[in-house]
Amino acid sequence: MRTTLLTQLNFGNFSMANEWINGNWINLFKFLELAAFIIIGLAFCFLFSITFKLLQKQKDLPFGNFLRVLQLFFFIGCISSFAYGLSIWFAFYETKILLLSASAIMLCITVWGILKIYPQLLDLLTPAQSELNVMKRTAELAEMNNNLLRMHVDLDNYYQAANRDITSSVKIIGEQIQLVKSELRTLSLTEKRKLRRIENEINTIESTVLTFNELINSIKNPYEDVEEVQIPELLLEIFKENEGLFRKYNALLHEQLSEFTLIYSRSGLKCILNNLIINSLKYSSPERRAEVWLRSFIADGRFIIEVEDNGLGIDLKQYQNRLFKMFKRIYYHVEGSGIGLFSIKQLIERKGGSIEVESEPDRGSVFRVLI
C-alpha cells in the first residue's frame, strides 16, 4: 500500500510526519524551513566570528562583558539553528529541545545585559555630537589656558617688583648696620648680640629670596641655564660666602669627589648645595665638632651628590612626612624660614631629579640628590 502524507512516526507523546524524515522532500514549506534554519545558523556564526575577532583585537572595549555574553548567545544560536535544520532530516527531538532551552536561557541573559547598560546606551553620542562636544571643550580649555597665561604674567610681574623692593630694602638695612658698627666702635655685648641677630635675619632673607628666584626660574624653563659646572669651584665659592658660619661652628668640610664636573644649572646646584651645607652647620650637635662630607659619584646611570653631617639627626619615623613641607620645621632653636628643604626638593624635581634622606637622631643625616 502506498504511504500517504498523513502517516505519522511517534516519539513518545509527540509525532512527526515521516515525509519529512530520511529525505522525503515532498512539501515545499519544509524545504523553506530547512533553508531558513541554515541561513539563520550562518548569520549567527558570522556574528560570533565578528565579536570574537573584535574582543581579541580590542581588549579594553566598553561593555566588554556584555559583548562576551552576546558572543556566547551567538554561538548557541548558531548550534541551535543548525540542529533545528538537521532535525528536519534526522529525528533527534530531545536534543533539539535541549538546544532550544539553552538558547532561551542565553537570550534571557542577553536581555538582562541590555537592560543593565541601557541607560549608558542612551548617553552615547553620534559622531557629529561627539565632534561638537570636543570642539566646545577645546575652546573652553583654550580660554582657560589664555587666562592662566595672563595670570602667570601678572604674578611674575608682581613677584619681580616685590623681589626688587625686598632685595633693595635688605641691602639698605645691611649697609646701615655696617655703618652703625663702624661709627659706634664701643658697643655693649647686648648691642652686639642684637646687631648679630639682625645680620642673621638679613642673611636668612637673602637666602630665601635667592632660593625662590631659582625655583621660579626652574618653573619657567628647567633647562634654560644648563652648563658644565665645576663642582670644586662651586664648593669654594659656597665656603667663602659662608666662611663666618663655618668659623662660628668650627666646622670642617670634607670633599670626597669622584666626579668633578656636572652638566646642570650652576645657580640651581649652588642653591641646592648651599641649603644642604648651611643646614648641616645650623643643626650641628653641640657635643662634637661639626663635620660635613660632600661626595659625588655615578651609580646606576645617575649622577649622585651626597651631603652628610654628624649633627643632631632626624627621627624619620616621626618627621618623615613633614620634612620637605613648606613652613614645617623640626628644630626651633636656630633661625630659619621652613622653606629651604621644600624649595630645593621642588627645584630638583623640576629638573627631573629626586632627593632622598637617611638619618638617625644624634648620629647625623645624609641627603642624597639624584640627578
Same domain, 359 and 243: yes
Which single residue is written with the C-alpha cell 618653573? 219
- pLDDT of 273 reads 92
Last residue of a domain, one of 95, 124, 153: 124
Q: How is 314-346 classified by DSSP, letter by letter?
A: --HHHHGGGTTSTT--S--SS---S-HHHHHHH
Q: Is residue 200 part of a domain?
A: no
Q: What is the pLDDT of residues 32-78, one digit of tens each?
A: 777 787 888 888 888 888 888 877 776 666 666 777 777 777 887 78
- pLDDT of 124 reads 65
Look up the domain containing 61 and give its range.
8-124
Q: How is 103-144 classified by DSSP, letter by letter?
A: HHHHHHHHHHHHHHHHHHHHHPPPHHHHHHHHHHHHHHHHHH
- pLDDT of 196 reads 76
Q: Is residue 183 part of a domain?
A: no
- pLDDT of 249 reads 86
Q: Is residue 334 part of a domain?
A: yes
* Cell numbers standing for residue 201: 635675619
Q: Is residue 307 part of a domain?
A: yes
Instruction: Give the pairing of strands 302-309 and 364-370.
Output: antiparallel
Instruction: Give the pairing of strands 291-299 and 302-309.
Output: antiparallel
- pLDDT of 191 reads 75
Nearest CA-CA partner of 231 in 290, 203, 272, 282: 272
Angle at Cα 277 formed by Cα 320 and Cα 224, nearest 5°? 90
Q: Is residue 164 part of a domain?
A: no
Last residue of a domain, one of 81, 101, 124: 124
d(CA 305, CA 348): 12
Q: Is residue 349 part of a domain?
A: yes
- pLDDT of 46 reads 87
Same domain, 227 and 341: yes
- pLDDT of 276 reads 92
- pLDDT of 292 reads 93
Q: Which amino acid is at 214?
A: E
Same domain, 230 and 353: yes
Buried b (16+ CB within 10 A) or exposed e, 134-160: eeeeeeeeeeeeeeeeeeeeeeeeeee
Contact present, 166 and 205 (Cβ < 8 Å): yes
d(CA 369, CA 364): 17
User: Each residue's pLDDT tens digit in the chain (371 positions)?
Assistant: 334 333 343 434 434 444 444 445 556 666 777 778 788 888 888 888 888 887 777 666 666 677 777 777 788 778 777 777 776 666 666 666 776 777 777 777 777 777 777 777 666 667 777 788 888 888 889 889 888 888 877 777 777 777 777 778 777 877 777 777 777 667 777 777 777 777 777 777 777 777 777 667 666 666 667 889 999 999 999 888 888 888 888 899 999 999 999 999 888 888 899 889 988 988 888 889 999 999 999 998 899 999 999 988 888 888 888 788 776 666 666 666 667 788 888 888 888 899 999 998 888 999 999 98
* Torsion on CA atoms 252, 257, 260, 264, rounded to nearest 10: -80
- pLDDT of 265 reads 86
Q: Is residue 203 part of a domain?
A: no
Q: Is residue 79 part of a domain?
A: yes
Strand order in the sheet with 354-360: 252-257, 291-299, 302-309, 364-370, 354-360
Predicted structure pTM score: 0.53
Using alpha carbons, list the distances in angstroms from residue 106 to 66, 213, 231, 366: 12, 68, 73, 66
Domains of the chain: total = 2
Instruction: Give the pairing of strands 14-17 and 354-360.
Output: unpaired
* Cell numbers standing for residue 368: 642624597
Last residue of a domain, one of 124, 141, 157: 124
Specify the CATH number for the domain of residue 312: 3.30.565.10
